[in-house]
Chains A and B, each alone.
Chain A
Amino acid sequence: SQQGEEDPQALSIQEGENATMNCSYKTSINNLQWYRQNSGRGLVHLILIRSNEREKHSGRLRVTLDTSKKSSSLLITASRAADTASYFCATDGILTGGGNKLTFGTGTQLKVEL
């Protein structure tokens, strides 16, 4: 089952604009991660934020985390056509032996138009 939901399901913006995607989850977490998936390609890890962090930056990406509301947001600034993709948040739970089982949200489809 999916851990949470992304909002909006789809987003269309012009190149240069900012894109904001939100993610809500259901259970307590250790970390929350954001992934990007291009058509025909695998998932690419973007950024990880730990449960004791509130905000994290990586290049044009800014992630916030509110554990009291069980929600996170991903902001992409100055978007480019190459940012067109599906974006997923994922929370992790510890598996036997120490592995991290990722539970993904339903994803936001972002389209950046020229």
Chain B
Amino acid sequence: GAGVSQSPRYKVAKRGQDVALRCDPISGHVSLFWYQQALGQGPEFLTYFQNEAQLDKSGLPSDRFFAERPEGSVSTLKIQRTQQEDSAVYLCASSFVGYEQYFGPGTRLTVT
């Protein structure tokens, strides 16, 4: 079956631009997670949804980061006024509640 998909796979943005990153989770998975992975580091938690409810956003680094999942399936991570320090791979994962997380291939964001 289809796994978690993310688009675009690569995004180059000029500093100050807004970007939107999309995640299509595995069908039926209630939980959806966003992680940020800087070069040479492990992924770091950003935010968590259960269905359409955003239950934890403690990892979002600033108020420029916003995530939504309006219908409880597809999710979008939006970054406003991008900065160079936002350059990273953004990973999405989905799961049944409390079970193994399945990760997508990630979106590599480069801010120039």
Interface residues of A (CB under 8 A from B): 1-2, 35, 40-45, 48, 88, 90, 95-107
Chain A binder among B12-20, B47-55, B72-80: B47-55
**Interface range on chain B: under 10, 10 to 19, 20 to 34, or 35 or more?**
20 to 34
Known contacts A42-B4, A42-B91, A45-B100; A1 and B55 CB within 8 A of each other: no
**Does B106 lie at the interface of the complex (its beta carbon under 8 Å from any beta carbon of A)?**
yes
Looking at the assembled complex, report how far the CB atom of B22 sits from the nearest CB atom of chain A, in whole angstroms. 15
* Contact in complex: A99, B48 (CB < 8 Å): yes
* Contact in complex: A104, B43 (CB < 8 Å): yes
Closest to A96 in B: B55
User: Which of B55, B100, B101 has the largest count of A CB atoms less than 10 A from its CB?
Assistant: B101
Contact of B105 among A41, A98, A100, A102 (CB under 8 A): A41
